[in-house]
Structure 1
Amino acid sequence: MRIISGQYKGRRIVAPKKLPVRPTTDMAKESLFNILNNQYYFDDISVLDLFAGTGNISYEFASRGTEQITAVDENYGCIKFINETAESFEMTISTIKSDVFKFLEKTTQQHTIIFADPPYDFPTQEFARIPQLVFQNTLLEDEGLLIVEHSKHTDLSHLAHYSHSKSYGGNMFSFFK
């Protein structure tokens, strides 16, 4: 995995093989950030990275100038890796080791962008809980965006606040406003 753009453009990040993750592909990540680049000034936003895994998405935001980034994952190894990588790059990424759903039920902090990359084999009901909790608890700022990454075989278009989806190979991003 590599950082696509910004201060750390081209830097490779090698995660330990033992982490239970499936990082967003470089092609999908580049396409997503091309979309976001036209909507936001990265140095003016706050980002919440749910099911953060290796921290791939958090590093990309940090490389582009975002300073308010919170990464949430329940796996200690993932949190440790994100902390070590962020420290080595001198990135300001806060980490929280927690079950994402419990975190969403308790937090009151709002963000401009909330990115969620849950396991692709989640049942649709679990995917549905993400936007439900985000909007029920008013976790997005005005003009904020929830992005859920999932397999092209999962359809989230029936969920409340759904806006649209973009497909990149086997990856799909569903956008909620």
Structure 2
Amino acid sequence: MRIIGGVLKGLRLNPPKNLPVRPTTDLAKEALFNILLNKIEFEGIKVLDLFSGTGNISLEFASRGAAEVVSIDRSIHCINYLKDTARQHKLTQIKTFKADVLKYLQLETEQYDLIFADPPYDMNQIPELPKIIFEKNLLLPGGLLIVEHQSLQNLSNHPAFTEQRKYGHSSFSFFQVNQ
């Protein structure tokens, strides 16, 4: 894993082997951020990273100038790795919280420019994520939700769905708030 853009471009991330994660591959992450380059301005945005794991995505957004990145994961080991990495590279805009994502979303009231969710592929509630996020009005006008999931899964039945991009066994489904 590496940071592919911004001030930390090229930084190799070496998380402990025992973390309970399935990190987004460099190939898929690079494709995702190439898509985002044409959709958003990274500088100054507010990002919510759900199921943040190693923090690979959080670190990428921080490296590219996001003003605030809120990272949620239920593993204290993942949270501690991300906290330590952010501190080491002086990424003070990253805030970490150890929490069950679904419970966190029920209590969250902040709004974000972009929400990225990379839940475990075997999680039954993946289709519920867009529903919860839009019902709770967690995206700012023009905001973007991206859910990473297995390519066989179809999330297109949500009214805010805009597109799905497939990268092997992984896909990104995009949802957007009407401006």
Please, what TM-score do these two structures have when normalized by structure 1? Answer: 0.96
Give the corresponding residue for 2:3.
Answer: 3
CA distance in 1 between counterparts of 2:155 and 2:37 reads 24
Q: How does 1:92-111 map to 2 (within 5 A)?
A: 92-111=93-112
For residue 44 of structure 1, report the CA deviation from its aligned partner. 2.4
CA distance in 2 between counterparts of 1:143 and 1:160 reads 15
Question: What stretches of structure 1 move > 6 A for 4+ residues in a row?
Answer: none
Give the corresponding residue for 2:65.
Answer: 65
CA distance in 2 between counterparts of 1:116 and 1:5 reads 20
| Of 88-97 and 49-58, the range deviating more from structure 2 | 88-97
Letter in 2 for 1:74: R
Give the corresponding residue for 2:129.
Answer: 130
Among the aligned pairs, what percent are the same residue? 50
Secondary structure of the 1:72 match is: strand
CA distance in 1 between counterparts of 2:139 and 2:151 reads 25
CA distance in 2 between counterparts of 1:98 and 1:86 reads 19
Secondary structure of the 2:43 match is: helix
For residue 168 of structure 1, report the CA deviation from its aligned partner. 1.2
Query: What is the RMSD computed on CA atoms of the aligned residues?
Result: 0.9
For residue 160 of structure 1, report the CA deviation from its aligned partner. 3.5
| Of 154-163 and 10-19, the range deviating more from structure 2 | 154-163
Letter in 2 for 1:78: C
Name the one with the larger helix percent.
1
Structure 2 unmatched runs, 5+:
none
For residue 61 of structure 1, report the CA deviation from its aligned partner. 0.5
On the 8 A contact 1:131/1:160 being kept in 2, the answer is no
Letter in 2 for 1:143: G
Q: How does 1:80-91 map to 2 (within 5 A)?
A: 80-91=80-91
Secondary structure of the 2:4 match is: coil
Letter in 2 for 1:69: V
For residue 33 of structure 1, report the CA deviation from its aligned partner. 0.5
CA distance in 2 between counterparts of 1:176 and 1:6 reads 25
For residue 43 of structure 1, report the CA deviation from its aligned partner. 1.2
| Of 128-137 and 45-54, the range deviating more from structure 2 | 128-137
CA distance in 1 between counterparts of 2:46 and 2:11 reads 23
CA distance in 2 between counterparts of 1:44 and 1:68 reads 8
Kindly tell me the number of residue pairs found equivalent between the two proteins.
175
On the 8 A contact 1:110/1:139 being kept in 2, the answer is yes
On the 8 A contact 1:132/1:160 being kept in 2, the answer is no
Q: What's the CA shift string for 1:108-158, capped at 9, x where partnerless?
A: 0000000000001122xx012211110011000000010000111211112
